[in-house]
Structure 1
Amino acid sequence: MVLQVTNSPFNQEQADLLNRLLPSLTDVQKVWLTGYLAAFQQVGAPASAAPVPAASADLTASAALTASVPAVSKEVTVLFGSQTGNSHKLAKKLTDKLQEQGFQATVSSMNDFKPNTLKKVQNLLILVSTHGEGDPPDNALPFYEFLHSKRAPQLEGLQFSVLALGDTSYEFFCKTGKDFDQRLEELGGKRLTPRVDCDVDFEDAAAEWMNNVLASLSEGTAVSSLASAGGAAVQIGEQTEYSRSNPFQAVVLENLNLNGRGSDRETRHLELSLEGSNLQYEPGDSLGIYPKNHPRLVGELIEAMGWKPEELVTINKNGEQRSLLEALTSHYEITVLTKPLMEQAAKLFSGSGLQELLVAGREQELRSYIRDRDLLDLVQDYNLKGVPAKDFVSILRKLPPRLYSISSSPQAYPDEVHLTIRKVEYEANGRNRYGVCSTYISEQAEPGEALPVFVQQNPSFKLPENPDAPIIMVGPGTGVAPFRAFLGEREETGAPGKTWLFFGDRHFSTDFLYQVEWQRWLKDGVLTRMDVAFSRDTDEKVYVQHRILENSKELYQWLQDGASIYVCGDEKHMAHDVHAAFATILEREGGLSPEGAAEYLARLQQEKRYQRDVY
């Protein structure tokens, strides 16, 4: 656009200068200039300022563009705590954006950050997930404990902001992020922007938080909203590459049941083609799948509410519409009840009696109700009717992807990815319940069908850089999946390090997953040793932690020889029992006190020699 003197407050000379300057500016320079002019207006030009001679006008404009306001040169420390890799990925995106805006930004895992340097940090941005029942991720634990100890320094000069990732289906939603936020304030820090708590559908909330952080740090340089600055905004959900927000349609190559005849379990070995996707993964990473809800549950829910399957409802902020049947099948979470959902439903159905369940003092009753119940239960138990489908779906959250540990090596299977998925099906409250993704895979993912997938990198669960280093792997049930990938990778690369696998399940005859492959690797020397525990084959149940304790002397020697420990599987019981078993070995064989054993294991985690992929 050319500036015309007749409709502007500028004289001809000024208009000519602006017409030469403005078309040459980049988006970042335009954002900077907007903030510069706003700041100049606030400070005010000197009253005696003389007109700028025409000969020096170009130099003045150039100097304004290259001048450095103090905020742009500030150092920013970005710390992440991540169990599955989401916080890590967001932290890298944020760091890139900060650097693009001229900040000296550094990003680090909390596990790698030196706590004694915290008092020197002026701007701290924390991105952290909550793991299990309100626990910090493994790589956040040392920094979390330091910050909550008496050794934590006063931080009066600190500016900070926290992005908390979590899942509203858990009682202690985003607790780790909330703890960091509260503790930094207690130590004297000042918030740059308020904490943002993200549910499983975190992209939009995270993008907004990043934009607010960038604007606050810029102190006027980016006040004009980065989102409208012609591409200067943080764009998380609009990527050209295949990703979480733009999944690849992977064709099913094979879908086999690994359990033998007579087993009361069904475990699928799923092989998918990644040809043409350019998706890259490493052993230890996960694959995300966007599933579909069970057609029976969808049909019963529509019938219970008296809706029509073909009526249109809006499925996103862009106003995109789909039939109600498709929306409830592929776009909305209908199998999990959360407290926020219950609160919104109580407002939508004001006379339903739901409000009584949400009053203070009935938390335990609410907790008990939402466990093992879904949306159909809620509709039937409280007779929720009379609300249009378009209003009802507006309170539902998006159907989140399910993450599965990858069970293949990309070296062994180029352009393919393999998963090991156990079907979840059980009876509760008088109805059959289905694991959303596992049942979808078991019943609908036929060879030739396509599944929307993306790779979830997990830098906290990786083979040692040194191929000579020994590894100890503990993976009962489907927790053995990443270790099939580990061993396949070591076979392909010829890594000579010793390997020891602990595997467990119910019955030897029907539940020994990948038995032939383990036996081949044992024969070829890729797998040095394997110990198994089949809990239902003996009068007294035997689990992997028992096998670990039975081999305490040898395992202690492996640790002394530099072995790394890897644990994958159930977090609530198995992972805790295995951790306790290794602590017992350190006390028994190493002569350590309980406190000393705990410190030893914490040190192994710090050195990345004790890694867990637990859920």
Structure 2
Amino acid sequence: MNAVVATENHLASLGSDKLSALERLAEGLGPAELYWLAAWSAAKADRLQRGLVDPPLAAGKAQGDRLTILYGSQTGQAKRIAAQLSARAEAAGLSVRLVRADGYAQRDLAKETHLAVVISTQGDAEPPDDARGLVEFLLGKRAPKLPGLRYTVLGLGDSSYPQFCAIGRQIDARLEELGAKRFAPFGEADVDVDAVAAPWAEGALEQARQLLGSAQPTVRVANLQPVPSRVVYTRERPFAASVLDNQPIVARDAGRDVRHVELSLEGSGLHYEPGDAIGVWPENPPALVDQWLSLLSLDGGQAVRHDGKELPLRQWLTHERELTRLSRPLIAAVADASGDEKLAGLLRPDRSASLAALLASDQPIDLWRRHPARWSAEELVATLRPQTPRLYSIASSQKAVGDEVHLTVALVDYEAYGERHWGAASSFVAAAGDDHRVPVFIEENERFRLPKDSARDIIMIGPGTGVAPFRAFVQERRETGAGGRNWLFFGNRHFTRDFLYQIEWQAALRDGSLQKLDLAFSRDGDAKVYVQQRIREQGRELYDWLQDGAHLYVCGDASQMAKDVHAALIDVAITHGGQSPDQAKEWLSDLLQQGRYARDVY
């Protein structure tokens, strides 16, 4: 039996839970880090075989000798960075506790001596749902004084939003206000997360090792060699999925194109659960690349060297650079190159409303058109942000579709300022045919899961493409024979033009896998009707379902829909629960903390 087969057989004997834990631990680690992890594991096994007790476990290190890594994550990025830091710290011999914000006992904060926080900011300065309770506690009056705490914070965000990394900055400042001292500087990571997260983690780990008195462990492992194994596909190493189906699911006169796309995962070994997302690494539309080259009078064949990589300019713009999302650093760069003081003034704190409007309405090329300046190919590549993957809520249950993954994609393609505009990922996916390969990876969303008790009822609110994960939920509940009832609120513009998955929902009502369906089509009547109106109309029954233990899910637009739905739920609690406004807000907050109110908003 060769080494590969032997290794696979031993791994199979561990069971699915332990295998999943191993995969989570190794996710995102590079070869050198994996070899260190293997060396540490081998040394631990050797000690156990010789009957020796592992010192950290035997001594039960005091909390003061431990690094606590706390994360708040909406899409999984903060979790990924925190898990990588935890694995590296453990491999370096540190005692580490890795904990999600909603699983952290707030009373423990006063006892901590070494804390690393990795937290994202959502939309307009909102914390991730799993960190809302902790952020409220930290910023509130009950937060303890922390003179004995050494800490560091990494904020994750998107500089295409005005309040970039606001939650990370608030926590960093608040910990200092409470008397804590930084052991490593605050870090702010944009959508190209690893560009900041990697050096931040390196510096934080080095400082933590010095503070906690740990040296890099020296282990002796005879003939330690890398063992060939199957490829593990990740964000950094995506799987090239073939296209099985790609078809519009709206009428020709709907005014926009929404696609149902089915991709093959055969041979990838990728697994997902309902509620997870699929990451897509896009290519920018060729016509958009042509617009850039024409506007700046640049040669797409010109070789450009940047960060140790040399590529033709067209390839940089097609594969490597973000062309469709505007950001604060880009505005600053264009203002500087063009000498436009008015544009630079938008970055002042008192102009946040004007900045938000610009970020929401314009793409980078609009800025370049309005504020012309001479740009070399090298300057352009250095200024534009790196391309980043787009996440789509998975619209299928793997129990129902096997080695496939389905997604629901709204094509971004519109006219503005007399020019055509496109979305990067939506255009890439919409154009994908039988001969295309789509680079993908799975992004777990552990906060957006079906209840473990399948007898629980669920309420799903998903207008537009936000309905995608609920297609997966209903498929999964049908396949597993779940006993709980399923209630869907869906909204869009027109019943006859863009009722997404209409036939499937009607079939689900007939076969009993969907018990209730409430619809809101905003353009079909004289007055616009949205899902929040339907929520208020059905408030009595909805409140009763929740009081009886139902789980509530919301998916879709964060900027308006999610806020309107949240407000409607507060009204339901006031009207049908007899609660005051403050009590209703606290009630919803409790549901969030319990995991019975989950949101996948973007």
Pairwise same-fold verdict (TM > 0.5): yes
Counterpart amino acid of residue 157 in structure 2: G
**Secondary structure at the residue paired with 1:567?**
strand
Does structure 2 retain, via aligned residues, the 8 Å contact 1:501–1:530? yes
Does structure 2 retain, via aligned residues, the 8 Å contact 1:124–1:160? yes
Is residue 270 of structure 1 aligned with residue 261 of structure 2?
Answer: yes
Is residue 328 of structure 1 aligned with residue 317 of structure 2?
Answer: yes
Residue 253 of structure 1: how far off its partner (Å): 0.7
Counterpart amino acid of residue 449 in structure 2: K
| Change in 2 beyond 3 A, CA 1:141/1:214 | same
**Secondary structure at the residue paired with 1:412?**
helix
Q: 1:521 aligns with which of 503, 508, 513?
A: 508
Q: What do the CA deviations read for 1:512-561 (whole angstroms, capped 9, x no partner)?
A: 11111111111111111111111111111111111111111211111121
Q: What do the CA deviations read for 1:573-599 (whole angstroms, capped 9, x no partner)?
A: 111111111111111111111111111
Find the counterpart in structure 2 of residue 44 from structure 1: none
Is residue 358 of structure 1 aligned with residue 344 of structure 2?
Answer: yes
Counterpart amino acid of residue 104 in structure 1: S
Q: What do the CA deviations read for 1:187-240 (whole angstroms, capped 9, x no partner)?
A: 0011010011101111232121111111111117899999xxxxxxxxxxxx96
Is residue 559 of structure 1 aligned with residue 584 of structure 2?
Answer: no
| Change in 2 beyond 3 A, CA 1:224/1:111 | closer
Identity of aligned residues (%): 44
| Change in 2 beyond 3 A, CA 1:412/1:158 | same
Find the counterpart in structure 2 of residue 448 from structure 1: 435
Find the counterpart in structure 1 of residue 521 from structure 2: 534
Is residue 283 of structure 1 aligned with residue 274 of structure 2?
Answer: yes
State how far apart, in whole Å, the 2-side matches of 1:184 and 1:241 are.
Answer: 38
Find the counterpart in structure 1 of residue 409 from structure 2: 421
| Change in 2 beyond 3 A, CA 1:107/1:225 | closer
State how far apart, in whole Å, the 1-side matches of 2:301 and 2:93 are.
Answer: 51
Is 428-437 or 155-164 further displaced after alignment?
428-437
**Secondary structure at the residue paired with 1:533?**
strand
**Secondary structure at the residue paired with 2:541?**
helix
Residue 362 of structure 1: how far off its partner (Å): 6.1
**Secondary structure at the residue paired with 1:394?**
helix
Q: What do the CA deviations read for 1:487-521 (whole angstroms, capped 9, x no partner)?
A: 11111111111111111111111111111111111
Counterpart amino acid of residue 94 in structure 1: L
Residue 425 of structure 1: how far off its partner (Å): 2.3
Counterpart amino acid of residue 390 in structure 2: R
Please identify the structure whose Cα radius of gyration is greater.
1
Unaligned ranges ≥5, structure 2: 1-34, 41-58, 218-229
Counterpart amino acid of residue 361 in structure 2: D
Q: 1:475 aligns with which of 432, 445, 462?
A: 462
**Secondary structure at the residue paired with 1:411?**
helix
Is residue 375 of structure 1 aligned with residue 361 of structure 2?
Answer: no
Does structure 1 retain, via aligned residues, the 8 Å contact 2:121–2:127? yes
The alignment of Structure 1 onto Structure 2 pairs a total of residues equal to: 540
Q: What do the CA deviations read for 1:103-136 (whole angstroms, capped 9, x no partner)?
A: 2211221112111221011111111000011111
Find the counterpart in structure 1 of residue 286 from structure 2: 295
Unaligned ranges ≥5, structure 1: 1-25, 32-67, 227-238
Q: What do the CA deviations read for 1:15-67 (whole angstroms, capped 9, x no partner)?
A: xxxxxxxxxxx969999xxxxxxxxxxxxxxxxxxxxxxxxxxxxxxxxxxxx
Is 180-189 or 575-584 further displaced after alignment?
575-584
Find the counterpart in structure 2 of residue 241 from structure 1: 232
Q: What do the CA deviations read for 1:56-106 (whole angstroms, capped 9, x no partner)?
A: xxxxxxxxxxxx9x9998212111111111111222222222222222211
State how far apart, in whole Å, the 2-side matches of 1:511 and 1:295 are.
Answer: 28
Counterpart amino acid of residue 344 in structure 1: A
| Change in 2 beyond 3 A, CA 1:376/1:578 | closer
Correspondences of 1:86-235 after superposition (within 5 Å): 86-219=77-210
Is residue 431 of structure 1 aligned with residue 447 of structure 2?
Answer: no
Does structure 2 retain, via aligned residues, the 8 Å contact 1:215–1:221? no
Q: What do the CA deviations read for 1:414-446 (whole angstroms, capped 9, x no partner)?
A: 11100001112223222222122112222x211
TM-score, structure 1 length as denominator? 0.83
Does structure 2 retain, via aligned residues, the 8 Å contact 1:130–1:166? yes
Find the counterpart in structure 2 of residue 384 from structure 1: 373
State how far apart, in whole Å, the 1-side matches of 2:454 and 2:392 are.
Answer: 25
Q: 1:487 aligns with which of 454, 457, 474?
A: 474
Counterpart amino acid of residue 192 in structure 2: D
Residue 610 of structure 1: how far off its partner (Å): 0.3
**Secondary structure at the residue paired with 2:188?**
strand
Does structure 2 retain, via aligned residues, the 8 Å contact 1:583–1:594? yes
Q: 1:404 aligns with which of 385, 392, 405?
A: 392
Counterpart amino acid of residue 342 in structure 1: I
Does structure 1 retain, via aligned residues, the 8 Å contact 2:288–2:422? no
Find the counterpart in structure 1 of residue 490 from structure 2: 503
Find the counterpart in structure 2 of residue 394 from structure 1: 382
State how far apart, in whole Å, the 2-side matches of 1:292 and 1:343 are.
Answer: 25
Find the counterpart in structure 1 of residue 22 from structure 2: none
Does structure 2 retain, via aligned residues, the 8 Å contact 1:214–1:222? no
| Change in 2 beyond 3 A, CA 1:339/1:253 | same
**Secondary structure at the residue paired with 2:559?**
helix
State how far apart, in whole Å, the 2-side matches of 1:201 and 1:295 are.
Answer: 23
Counterpart amino acid of residue 500 in structure 1: W
Residue 320 of structure 1: how far off its partner (Å): 2.3
State how far apart, in whole Å, the 2-side matches of 1:157 and 1:225 are.
Answer: 25
**Secondary structure at the residue paired with 1:358?**
helix
Is 76-85 or 172-181 further displaced after alignment?
76-85
TM-score, structure 2 length as denominator? 0.85
**Secondary structure at the residue paired with 2:136?**
helix
Find the counterpart in structure 1 of residue 578 from structure 2: 591
State how far apart, in whole Å, the 2-side matches of 1:278 and 1:27 are.
Answer: 25
Residue 355 of structure 1: how far off its partner (Å): 4.5
Counterpart amino acid of residue 407 in structure 1: A
Does structure 2 retain, via aligned residues, the 8 Å contact 1:253–1:448? no
Counterpart amino acid of residue 484 in structure 1: R
Q: 2:333 aligns with which of 315, 324, 344?
A: 344
Does structure 1 retain, via aligned residues, the 8 Å contact 2:71–2:79? yes
| Change in 2 beyond 3 A, CA 1:112/1:29 | closer
Residue 609 of structure 1: how far off its partner (Å): 0.2
Does structure 2 retain, via aligned residues, the 8 Å contact 1:139–1:460? yes
**Secondary structure at the residue paired with 1:76?**
strand
